[in-house]
Structure 1
């Protein structure tokens, strides 16, 4: 085929060059023909259509020979193409450089070669604005991440509109070893994603990646940081039933706010109780979560458990409340409970100390169900505290 092109003086098509790159993939054949094509003037940087690959909107994907060689992971082919003038920064039709594509595929030797050829390390894709480090971190390519960070890749560069960082992507995917490398490289553990405002710790807790959670907390990630809807890592883990993550958060850091709440007053204990996660409820009770806190709907954790028929959880909460009442000295209840029931005005839904006091008396057996007040407007703040 090559001799026929030479004899007929036909220009060497880039498609033929691509075919030879594919033949070179096994490092044992095709290199001599590849070199001959390059010497005969094949356009080494031309974008060639790839028949079986499409971009969003059904756009045809095109790439150069270097992109293909980088994806395949053929070091010798990459070296040959670079030697004959392949543009290391040439983008494919998706806006990816050869370095980004090699990093995405986990081709560590090729990544090293491209870096030695002075490939721009922090260049981003045209679609999502992801760097090579982001691609490798998301895919969990540990060696590539190590090579890129050692070469000076910026671990805190964010995607379009601050969408993600490499650490966020690794944390979301559960790549604990990659997370360790990125933290060592100076990755910001409090960077938030552009969609939900969640930190790496919140993402890992939400998904249930306990090893990543431990690494982040050991790295001094803030356990009390809140996402865009006001939830902490502990709330996310409790809501999704990740018992070991809850345990890791509570035991790995003394600074955890077990009673942190979202704008509606919802706390980790309330969510776990309402869904019926018995083991998580036990952990939160042992961590001294407030049993008497109320949310925006005037519901306690016990009320949520009872509403949804979680009898085992309700029993745990009643027992914990009784034990707490028995071990503390409560002030005497008012002589006339009617004094606190006459008003029809509620205090703030989440900070009424009077309602909390009445609840504590009732759970301790100090007030009968018939004496339960209808409202708690002007209750003495010291009552029941």
Structure 2
């Protein structure tokens, strides 16, 4: 059973937090407290000063500690940064998922930590520092086992110390394929129940692959630095989910979009010329199927803890090339078709097969934009069935 918040007085061994114990991060930054996992390298971070990107890439979606041990007690000190929103009820604490030999065994949160207060009506933020906290998992099964601690997908997390009552060693390479995925807040895990329940993690579990998740909330914008990070990251399977953030931010028109997609794929191919590469179009979002962006939050129900989104564009806007989700799906399918003769390892998946109009009666989008926890599981299951099984492009 998980316990918080104080370290056990029993004699425990501290193990240095090194890269060979972490998976899913592209870089570790050494801080005054410990180590901060990053999902984009320093060179990429230096090329963009957007605070949204800085926040989401430091939220360790898909990042986990993995080690072999006979320990029955595991403690992790961590300094979290939790988001709160002015006028809204407190958000749930981020969870740490503990897996023993691949099975979810316990969940717990870290108390205390930093607080980032966001005033969405004023567009301001306030950072209030706090102390690290401890998450403790006890009564683990005896014997040698593989332990995974998946870090909260929605809280920036600095790792301070790892303590156990038996030695820890890195897990040898299992030979499992590495799946590198990039997408928006939906891939990041917005509104998922826990870090192993985000749809890419669920799909990876079903498929038996190692996940590197570059789902970046609000930041899947075909940035060249993200493409270069993917180019330079070793991977056996690669997917890019493209579209919703480009409409959300209303950042480009069709002419620029087509060229940017080609450039993004070209850059990935510079480092992975024959790796299976999957282009995934947006899932259904009625808000923007035929209405261009940008999107804006609707604060009508903020006091009840709900933020919805609405489309600010005009569906009758005559401006040529205004991006909608329907237009993006058509263009992505055409881009893959045109590239296919020279790139037989490039594939396309229509996002509507993951979540479409047929799903809205039973799985509505709570904020009109993001899937809920149950729908994350649905999307992950469908992705695994279509992509990783015998007839799929990522089949063994």
Specify the TM-score bucket, using the shorter chain as the normaliser.
under 0.3
TM-score (norm 2): 0.26
Larger Rg: 1
More helix by share: 1
TM-score (norm 1): 0.26
Higher relative contact order (CA 8 A, sep 6+): 2
